[in-house]
Amino acid sequence: MENAKKKFNWRRLGISAIVLYIVFLIGPIAGLDIPAIVETVKANPIQLVQYLIIGISNGAIIAIIALGYTMVYGIIELINFAHGDVYMIGVFTSLTVLSLTGTLESKDPTKIVLGLVLALIVSIVVCAVLNASIERLAYKRLRNAPRLAPLISAIGMSFIIENIGLIWAAQAWLVPSFGTTGGASQKVFPDMLGILFTSLGWNVNLLATSGLPLRFTIKDLLVIILAVALMVGLYLFVQRTRLGKAMRATAQNRDAAKMLGIDIDWVITATFLIGGGLAGAAGLMAGLYNGTAWWFMGFRAGLQSFTAAVLGGIGNITGAMLGGFLIGLLASFSDGYLNARWTNAWVFATLVLILLFRPSGLLGENTGQKA
Amino acid sequence: MNKRLLALLSVLVIASMALAACGTPAATEAPATDATEAPATDATEAPASVESMGVLKIVSSLPMTGSSLTQTQTIVNAMQLRLEQVDYKVCGGSYDIEYEAWDDASAALGQWDPAVETENANKAAADPSIIAYLGTFNSGAAKLSIPILNQAGPLAMISPANTNPGLTKADKDLPGVTDSYYPTGVRSYARVVAADDIQGKVAANFVKSLGATTVYILDDQQLYGKGVADVFEATAAEIGLTVVGHEGIDPKAADYKALMTKISTSNNGAAPDAIYVGMVVDSNAAQLLKDKVAILGDNETVKFVGPDGIQTQAFIDGAGADAAAGAYASVAGVPFAELPATGQQFVADYEAKYGPLTEPYSVYGYETMSVAIRAIEDVCAAGGDPTDRAAINSAVFAIQNFDGALGNWSFDANGDTSLTDMTFYVVKDGAYEAVGTFK
């Protein structure tokens, strides 16, 4: 026992040394100049609030995508690498719906609202079906194969979907603003919420009347409201419904759940449907929020969301939300107070630290919530 | 079971390959030459006339997966157009030319990929029928392939688009770096475009002439982007333009709102007069501009100026005509309307075959192929062997008073062009429009 205690201390020492090294030696290179940051915050405290707003809005989108990762991992212990790309398809689907319904050219508030609602529904349905089809096509047969096989298959699906996005972005007959420059370049996702608000005669910035130099736009508000609503809805679904219960049972022990008469295939399909639907909703939100549709956007979004899921404790729904918001905030503060060049380094360094201290993630112990 | 798994995996692999092929431009699949197999030509060679001496292969290595495709596709088209003009034959018909457009980008990166570019260079070095390597588009890619090709003959490398000064000229901050690119001591890399020691300097003067006194510099941390931004910064200090900050960005970030919020108070609580971006369109330049307009206001309030990497329609398509309106970009050379007769003819021919042409680099692609053809012809005319890489390379460097589509110019000993014109363009009604030419 004494031996074990000694070993434990060594480990703590090693970890502390790594932390000190990162903070005091690498930190200053990466812009971690604490007195200067304190000065900046003191000089302009309002800006801190602005970074919070940006961080939370970005985090909301990451969190929703992270839910898809974490649910799938919870059920079949597979990292669905194609998930970020399903989200990208969501962006293109909603943009195409907005274009085909004539919403993009419209200035009529009712039409814009109807168009956006339709785009949200279609995007959720398309992404849900796509995600479930990916499972049927690429993962189902590999369910009992070594873990590496479905992972490679997932990466393959990711490339296939990226190429679909590449072809889609070249179809100017669907969306005229795609132009003639081919599918590889970034495309505009028009700011429909801004147009809607202007047509109603309201200010896009909800804090304009407060006189503070802050921007809290309708886009930020909608992204946050939608994200929280989807997360709470999902949480209640998993906790309260029959299917949610079946999902939790499958997550705990697939064979036992099967013996109790749970239709495992349907539960897994349902998980992929829900995860895909969330990615579809995130797609419309991200398109409206950042104004870009790009075949490559799913890759980075997927990486960040995956990190968020791991940070919160993979398989844990609340953890994924927390991880998403934390990463959004961290990136925003790093851009604002440190150096934009090092933002990714800070995000992933934090992940490394969390995993060193709590390998199961922030909320990873609470397996009861695993879905 | 294992067999079924294998079958499924192979189907997936084939499907992804097929889709990847659809996603890449048509030109890479169509080298547009009848001599598809070199061995076949060798076989028919023996009984044929003494004049037919074989196939010379020219390859280009440009990023054709990613936003730069808008620019590189026109370069490839222009190169093919030049070859069609000589009917893919040189030295009075004794040699056939075969051209292949290689892609140095990967889907995984969405832009040029160091691994792919290195592989391309090694592949070219290993194929003795290749006598010229046209590329690259990105300076960072050139840095990798120059030393490989330099030790392969040397195999002449001619770039239509690299502008980083350090590739050919010794940098005062990093002396000796340039020499390490040329292990054999013989120069084997030339470019038809003026370098960024000119572009960055002209850009700083241009920003000052717009009435700006303060500027914030952003770059994409690549050899090209950071290089031109550094020259801009150095010149700004000399001409009394205050640089408020210089930062590298993450070229794959979803948005830059937090960064723009920081810039909005970086000039003693106010926004700077201008933002200079050293980057290519692949580095998320359109997103950067969108967030800049959202936070800092339109391009009239805070000027947005960039180098040739963003002078492409893809940049405007990505940012939207409204957000992009008023953004400036510079490109070496003169606008199409001011090109000499050969250049005018090229634009007319190009538009007749491929439709409207706005991408400024197309004419550089044409000029690069012209240089390669001229070098081969020169070797033949001097009685040399055009399959000899070293002979072709010396012929490239010997080119003086070349009467091309860009004008009359010469290569110096470093392989740099004598042309130093720089044209600024501004986005107006969703397209770039020339505002003036500077030196």
Predicted confidence (pLDDT) per residue in A79-135, tens digit: 898 999 999 999 999 999 999 998 888 888 899 999 999 999 999 999 999 999 999
Question: Considering CB atoms only, which of A142, A186, A343 is closest to B67?
Answer: A186
Peptide bond into B154 cis (omega under 30): yes
Contact check, Cβ <8 Å, B317/A179: yes
Q: Compute the distance between CA of residue B299 and CA of residue B275 in angstroms, rounded to an integer.
A: 10
Per-residue DSSP letters for A347-366? HHHHHHHHHHH-TT-TTTT-
Which residue from B383, B413, B385 is spatially nearest to B398, judged by alpha carbons?
Answer: B413
Which residue carries 């969190």 as its tokens? A63
The neighbouring-strand residues paired with B247 are: B218
DSSP-H helix ranges across B106-256: 114-126, 139-150, 177-181, 196-209, 223-239
A143: confidence class by pLDDT, cuts 50, 70, 90: confident
Q: What is the pLDDT of residue A315?
A: 81
The mean pLDDT value for A155-183 works out to 88
Backbone angles phi, psi at A310, to 5 degrees: -70, -40
Is the Cβ of A195 closer than 8 Å to some Cβ of chain B? no
The mean pLDDT value for B7-26 works out to 45
What share of chain A has pLDDT > 90, as a percent? 39
DSSP, collapsed to helix, strand or coil, labels residue A187 as strand
Contact check, Cβ <8 Å, B318/A149: no
The angle at the Cα of B176, spanning B172 to B180, to the nearest 5 degrees, equals 140
Please give the mean pLDDT across all residues of chain B.
85
- pLDDT surpassing 70 at residue B8: no
- pLDDT surpassing 70 at residue B269: yes
The gap from C-alpha A276 to its chain's centroid, in whole angstroms, comes to: 12
Q: Compute the distance between CA of residue A335 and CA of residue A231 in angstroms, rounded to an integer.
A: 27
SS3 content of chain A, % helix, strand, coil (to 5): 75, 0, 25
Burial class (CB in 10 A: 0-12, 13-18, 19+), B127: middle
Q: Compute the distance between CA of residue A94 and CA of residue A165 in angstroms, rounded to an integer.
A: 13
- pLDDT surpassing 80 at residue A366: no
Query: Structure tokens of A272?
Result: 């992929």
- Flag the least confident range among A27-36, A84-93, B331-340: A27-36
Domains and CATH numbers, chain B: 50-194+341-409 (3.40.50.2300), 196-332 (3.40.50.2300)
Contact check, Cβ <8 Å, B5/A145: yes
* B312 contacts in chain A (CB < 8 Å): 181
- pLDDT surpassing 70 at residue B7: no
Is the Cβ of A271 closer than 8 Å to some Cβ of chain B? no
Half-sphere exposure of B171 (CA within 13 A, CB side): 18
The mean pLDDT value for A216-233 works out to 88
* B295 contacts in chain A (CB < 8 Å): 215
Separation in Å, CA of A27 to nearest CA in chain B: 17
Which residue from A164, A200, A156, A201 is spatially nearest to A183, judged by alpha carbons?
Answer: A164
Question: Helices (H) and strands (E) in chain B — how many of each?
Answer: 16, 17
Is the Cβ of B107 closer than 8 Å to some Cβ of chain A? yes
Separation in Å, CA of B287 to nearest CA in chain A: 7
* B253 contacts in chain A (CB < 8 Å): 300, 331, 343
